[in-house]
């Protein structure tokens, strides 16, 4: 169980981590909409995050009813008990995660972890919709459609450092929040696509006079050049010089 002061602080990554760790269901409770205790209206963000999360669960093959959000006041203890009992019954009906969906647990965990790696990118692309205030339940299904989520993953961008443009300035390397860039002095940098979270920090950090970071969508990322070819030979220095 995770407790936070505001439902708006429940990150999509938390939800995916819970399912990856074997949780059969995830429940998020927040203040009533338009009755935010902190005047930040984070509960609207929690609602939108759950609506997106349900679509993502569908994409990986899980029943979206394993994820639920409800809004109530702290004085509504009876309502809270009823909601929790109802959700508990539903999760018991669905059974252990992946079982009723016919999914192999190892494969499911791999899929969820792959999606979780894209959370920063997803939040960046969908930041406008994640901040919307929805007042009518009729609007819920239209906020994130299955087709939109499929396109989101299909068109996910990747970043690549062009070897012929990299000047080994180490700016992108130092800025990367997950240390996905390998390089050093006089050594062409490369991005580890397995670690990259597609946040675009390197793209923004690369000096415009170099333009070494390429944003790629809809096609494979070129393979990294061999380590033996990553040495940059500066003018007046021999190739055998130290890195």
Domain boundaries, the chain: 7-154, 158-229
- The whole-angstrom separation of Cα 162 and Cα 167 is 10
Euclidean distance between the first and final Cα of the chain, in Å?
A: 49
pLDDT for the residue 154 = 86
Share of the chain above pLDDT 90, in %: 71
Burial class (CB in 10 A: 0-12, 13-18, 19+), 159: buried
What 3-state class would DSSP assign to 182?
A: strand
Average pLDDT over residues 232-237: 73
Residue 136: both structure tokens together: 């009518």
pLDDT one-digit tens code per residue, 97-106: 999 999 999 9
Average pLDDT over residues 199-206: 94
- The whole-angstrom separation of Cα 126 and Cα 149 is 10
Average pLDDT of the chain, as a whole number: 90
CATH number of 158-229: 3.30.70.20
**Range with lowest mean pLDDT among 37-41, 89-93, 136-140, 196-200:** 37-41
The answer to whether 231 and 239 have CB atoms below 8 angstroms apart is: yes
Residue 14 pLDDT > 90, yes or no? yes
Residue 31 pLDDT > 80, yes or no? yes
- The whole-angstrom separation of Cα 219 and Cα 79 is 50
pLDDT for the residue 3 = 58
pLDDT one-digit tens code per residue, 104-114: 999 999 999 98
- The whole-angstrom separation of Cα 243 and Cα 232 is 8
């Amino acid at each position: 169980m995770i407790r936070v002061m505001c439902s708006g602080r429940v990150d999509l990554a938390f939800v995916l981590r819970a399912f990856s760790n074997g949780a059969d269901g995830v429940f998020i409770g927040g203040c009533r909409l338009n009755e935010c205790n902190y005047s930040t209206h984070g509960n609207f963000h929690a609602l939108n995050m759950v609506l997106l999360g349900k679509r993502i669960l569908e994409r990986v093959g899980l029943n979206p009813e394993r994820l639920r959000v409800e809004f109530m006041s702290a004085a509504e203890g009876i309502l809270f008990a009823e909601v929790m009992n109802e959700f508990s019954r539903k999760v018991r009906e669905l059974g252990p995660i992946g079982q009723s969906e016919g999914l192999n647990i190892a494969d499911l965990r791999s899929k969820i972890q792959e999606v979780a790696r894209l959370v920063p990118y997803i939040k960046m692309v969908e930041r406008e919709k994640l901040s919307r205030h929805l007042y009518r339940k009729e609007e819920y299904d239209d906020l994130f459609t299955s087709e939109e989520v499929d396109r989101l993953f299909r068109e996910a961008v990747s970043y690549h450092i062009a070897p012929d443009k990299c000047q080994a300035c180490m700016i992108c390397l130092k800025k990367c929040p997950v240390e996905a860039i390998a390089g050093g002095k006089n050594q062409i940098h490369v991005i580890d696509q397995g670690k990259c979270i597609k946040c675009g920090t390197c793209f923004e950090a690369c000096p415009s006079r170099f333009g070494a970071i390429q944003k790629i969508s809809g096609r494979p990322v070129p393979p990294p050049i061999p380590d033996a070819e990553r040495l940059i030979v500066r003018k007046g220095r021999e190739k055998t010089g130290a890195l």
